[in-house]
Structure 1
Amino acid sequence: MGAAVSSDAGEPMMDINTTPLIDVMLVLLIMFIITIPVQTHAVKLDLPVDNPNQTPPPIDPVKNKIVIMPDNTVTWNGTPVDLTTLRQYLDITTTMRPTPELHLQPHPEARYDTVDEVLAVTKRANVQSMGFVGNEAYATFN
């Protein structure tokens, strides 16, 4: 326990010793942290069953992915498309509710002109939810 040294040796000390109070509060805090039950959250999902005989639709109702390859071909969910077909697919997705996400993944070696044309098509189609994926391919670590 701490003691204060004062210049007036004959007068009583008027300060309260807070060290025991802090010790008790820390012990209580640790006890409360230990006794709190672990919160577990469960989310129930109905996952789709894979059917190998079924052909996938060209437009996914959840998310669609546009990939621009190094040879400047544009693929929609893995299928090569031209810009006119891409615009038709984008027009269909904008009418769906909820609107599916659009993931754009240009290859690091793809020409900027092609990426710019695809971005212009998505802008003209009024795509609202779009994101760039695969940006870690552009990072350089030295």
Structure 2
Amino acid sequence: MGMNVGMEQSDEDIPMSDINTTPLVDVMLVLLIIFLITVPVVLETVPVQLPEVQYEPNETKPTNVNLSVKGGPGGTCEVYWDVTPVSSEELLDRAVTRLEEAIDAAGGVDNITDETMPEAHIRGDVDTPYKCIGGAIFTMQRAGFARVGFISEPPPGTAVRRL
């Protein structure tokens, strides 16, 4: 290490304006070595396979049932078949009727396929209690619908990609 005490030819003491950077460099090198040693220890990873989530637009078939569910006043549930409000009993009756019509149109239970089987699509409000949506799912499954799905909106700014 060297040290500069000023010019030798001058009798006056002139203050130095230079900063001694050697201690600063020493501290920075020690910190760099510490980080190089500790970072690999901290970054332990666990191998996990996550599902690939992609928004896939549905092709709406005319036989599909579109339900809208929202919470009503006093903790009640409001269910709408398209835009018509229905009670739980009416929902079950309409769902059974729709399923029977689809089976008759296909020529019987043996001829119905995944393509001809109607689906139930449920759109739930953000503030809807789970009991309302769960009740609609249960009623549609009780009527015989094998495929019950949810209609959602992708977050703004995300691209929709077909598989």
TM-score (norm 2): 0.43
Bigger Rg, which one:
2
Q: Which has the higher contact order (CA 8 A, sep 6+)?
A: 2
